[in-house]
């Protein structure tokens, strides 16, 4: 196709141009789904970008475009970055998957890294974090601390990543509090402070005194603060401005080491397609400071669980576990394999309601 070859030759020319001045600068692009000031998901990716700049100094140049809708707009933004000479492009939302693959085909010399997806190519890697490990810790604290025995959960989209988090939190809340009940609201957005705040308020009105969120803004934290006597957990970022209460702990995504390593790989010419899925052990998932609002003994147990996961001694999905419909999933002592986890589309036994479809 003419267009493809035109782009490819342009990319080639640029590729040559960049390699000619390779000693100068490696250009790294970032495509964000929300604004860098969301205080959550995109904020942490941008911290990763800044870490790359700090680590490599004059040797890199980074560019980013924020609030890019998932779809054709993302494709254009990526193409634009590639045309302007980016050597490595991080696309940081699930919905960028097909656009990333499309653009990668046109620019074989540019490396792409897609977060949370599953499609790879010669120049496309995927990476994600085992957020569900952090959810296990949250579930434990939530189960211990809830008085109404109702935990509210703000889901973004019913995709495996989010369902994994719900299951993991539920299993560990249930373990320490057999009466616990989860109420789940699907917001169908990653970032929409108004919708997220509404969802939090509805859950609180329904009696939830713990709010877990899988969306990117701090709006649910603010809603919980206003309601009083509700606890929350920071999502994707520490959200420590809401500590010690409502925010009692958090899951922090630490992308910086990965971004630095991958940028280094491009500089060295050692970049290869990988499928990275790291957790607490590797430091990609961190547990934010557990505040004093949590009783000391609960805090200790939570930290012990974190340490066990870091040491590889404990897996959040360890049998015996059944699926929601009552069928057996994992036998005593058996742990879930990554394949099942990656495509998880069922609730575990005890959760109420259906996954929307």
Partner 1 sequence: MIVLEKRPQPSKAWSYATPLVAVLATMVFGGILFAILGKNPIEAIGTIFWEPLFGEFAFYYRPQLLVKGAPLVLIAIGLSLGFRAGIWNIGAEGQYIMGAIFGAGAGLAFYPLDAFYIFPIMVIAGAFGGWLWASIPAFLKVRFGTNEILVSLMLVYVAEQMLASVSLGLLKNPEGFGFPGSRNLQSYESAHNAELIAGSGMHWGVVTALIAVIFAYVLLNRHMLGFHIRLTGEAPRAAKFAGVNPARLILFCLGLSGALAGLAGMFEVSGPSGVVSIDFNVGYGFTAIIVAFLGRLHPVGILLAGGLMALTYIGGEIAQSQLGLPAAAIQVFQGMLLFFLLAFDLLTNYRIRAAHSEVA
What is the b/e burial string over 99-121, where b = at least 16 CB atoms within 10 angstroms of the residue's CB? bbbebbebbeebbbbbbbbeebe
Which of 120, 157, 286, 350 binds partner 1 (CB under 8 A)? It is 157
Q: Which stretch binds partner 1 (CB under 8 A): 72-80, 204-212, 222-230, 273-281?
A: 72-80
4 interacts with partner 1 by CB under 8 A: yes
**Dihedrals phi, psi of 105, to nearest 5 degrees:** -65, -35
Q: How many residues bind partner 1 (CB under 8 A)?
A: 45
64 interacts with partner 1 by CB under 8 A: yes
What is the b/e burial string over 171-198, where b = at least 16 CB atoms within 10 angstroms of the residue's CB? bbbbebbeebbbbbbbbebbbbbebbbb
Beta bridge partners of 210: 151, 231
The smaller minimum CB distance to partner 1, of residues 50 and 298, is found at 50
Q: Which stretch binds partner 1 (CB under 8 A): 92-100, 129-137, 210-218, 329-337?
A: 92-100
118 interacts with partner 1 by CB under 8 A: yes
3-class secondary structure for 222-277? HHHHHHCCCEEEECCCCCHHHCCCCEEEEEEECCHHHHHHHHHHHHHCCCCCCEEE
353 interacts with partner 1 by CB under 8 A: no
Which of 9, 54, 72, 179 binds partner 1 (CB under 8 A)? It is 72
108 interacts with partner 1 by CB under 8 A: no
327 interacts with partner 1 by CB under 8 A: no
The smaller minimum CB distance to partner 1, of residues 128 and 291, is found at 128
Instruction: Name the maximum alpha-carbon separation found in the chain.
Output: 67
The least CB distance from residue 134 to partner 1, in Å, is 22
The smaller minimum CB distance to partner 1, of residues 68 and 230, is found at 68
The smaller minimum CB distance to partner 1, of residues 36 and 336, is found at 36
76 interacts with partner 1 by CB under 8 A: yes
8 interacts with partner 1 by CB under 8 A: no
The smaller minimum CB distance to partner 1, of residues 35 and 244, is found at 35
Q: Which long-range contacts (CB under 8 A, 24 or more apart) does 292-295 make?
A: 292/244, 293/231, 293/244, 293/245, 293/248, 294/141, 294/145, 294/248, 294/249, 295/144, 295/145
83 interacts with partner 1 by CB under 8 A: yes
The least CB distance from residue 342 to partner 1, in Å, is 7
DSSP state of 57: G
Beta-sheet pairing, 210-213 with 247-253: unpaired
Q: Which stretch binds partner 1 (CB under 8 A): 61-69, 127-135, 197-205, 327-335?
A: 61-69
Q: What is the DSSP string of 304-344?
A: HHHHHHHTT---SSBSSEEBTTS-EEE-TT-B--HHHHHT-
Q: Which stretch binds partner 1 (CB under 8 A): 74-82, 172-180, 215-223, 330-338?
A: 74-82
Beta bridge partners of 153: 184, 212
Which of 24, 69, 205, 206 binds partner 1 (CB under 8 A)? It is 69
Q: Where are the alpha helices (DSSP H) in 34-71?
A: 41-56
Which of 73, 282, 286, 334 binds partner 1 (CB under 8 A)? It is 73
Which of 53, 98, 198, 278 binds partner 1 (CB under 8 A)? It is 98
SS3 347: coil
Beta-sheet pairing, 285-288 with 247-253: antiparallel
Q: Looking at residues 217 to 236 of the shown chain, list those that interact with partner 1 (rule: CB under 8 A).
A: none
20 interacts with partner 1 by CB under 8 A: no
Other CB atoms closer than 10 Å to residue 170's CB: what's the count?
26
Q: How far is CA 116 from CA 23, 164, 250, 299, in A?
A: 32, 13, 20, 30
310 interacts with partner 1 by CB under 8 A: no
185 interacts with partner 1 by CB under 8 A: no
Beta bridge partners of 276: 127
Residues that bind partner 1 (CB under 8 A): 1-4, 6-7, 10, 29, 35-36, 63-73, 75-77, 79-81, 83-84, 94-95, 98, 102, 118, 157-160, 188, 342-345, 356-357
């Amino acid at each position: 196709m003419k267009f493809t070859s035109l782009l490819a030759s342009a990319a080639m020319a640029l590729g040559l141009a960049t390699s000619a001045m390779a000693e100068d600068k490696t250009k790294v692009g970032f495509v964000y789904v929300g604004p860098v000031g969301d205080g959550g998901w995109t904020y942490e990716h941008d911290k990763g970008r800044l870490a790359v700049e700090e680590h490599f100094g004059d040797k890199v140049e980074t560019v980013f475009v924020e609030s890019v809708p998932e779809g054709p707009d993302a494709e254009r933004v990526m193409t634009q970055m590639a045309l302007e000479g980016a050597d490595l492009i991080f696309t940081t939302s699930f919905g960028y998957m097909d656009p990333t693959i499309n653009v990668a085909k046109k620019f074989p010399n540019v490396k792409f890294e897609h977060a949370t997806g599953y499609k790879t190519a010669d120049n496309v890697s995927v990476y994600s974090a085992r957020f569900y490990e952090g959810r296990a810790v949250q579930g434990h604290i939530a189960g211990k601390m809830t008085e109404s025995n109702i935990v509210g959960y703000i889901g973004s989209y019913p995709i495996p990543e989010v369902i994994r988090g719900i299951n993991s939190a539920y299993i560990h809340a249930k373990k320490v509090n057999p009466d616990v009940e989860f109420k789940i609201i699907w917001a169908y957005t990653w970032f929409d402070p108004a919708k997220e705040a509404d969802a939090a308020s509805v859950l609180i009105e329904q009696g939830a005194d713990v709010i877990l969120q899988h969306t990117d803004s701090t709006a649910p934290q603010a809603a919980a603060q206003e309601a009083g006597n509700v606890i929350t957990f920071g999502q994707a970022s520490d959200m420590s401005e809401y500590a010690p209460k409502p925010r009692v702990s958090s899951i922090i995504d630490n992308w910086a080491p990965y971004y630095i390593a991958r940028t280094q790989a491009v500089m060295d010419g050692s970049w290869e397609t990988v499928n990275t899925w790291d957790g607490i052990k590797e430091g990609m998932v961190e547990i934010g400071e557990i505040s004093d609002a949590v009783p000391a003994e609960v805090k200790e147990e939570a930290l012990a669980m974190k340490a066990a996961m870091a040491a590889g001694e404990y897996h959040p999905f360890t049998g015996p576990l059944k699926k929601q419909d009552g069928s057996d999933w994992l036998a005593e002592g058996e742990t879930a394999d990554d394949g099942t986890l990656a495509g998880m589309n069922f609730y575990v036994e005890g959760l109420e309601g259906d996954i929307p479809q």
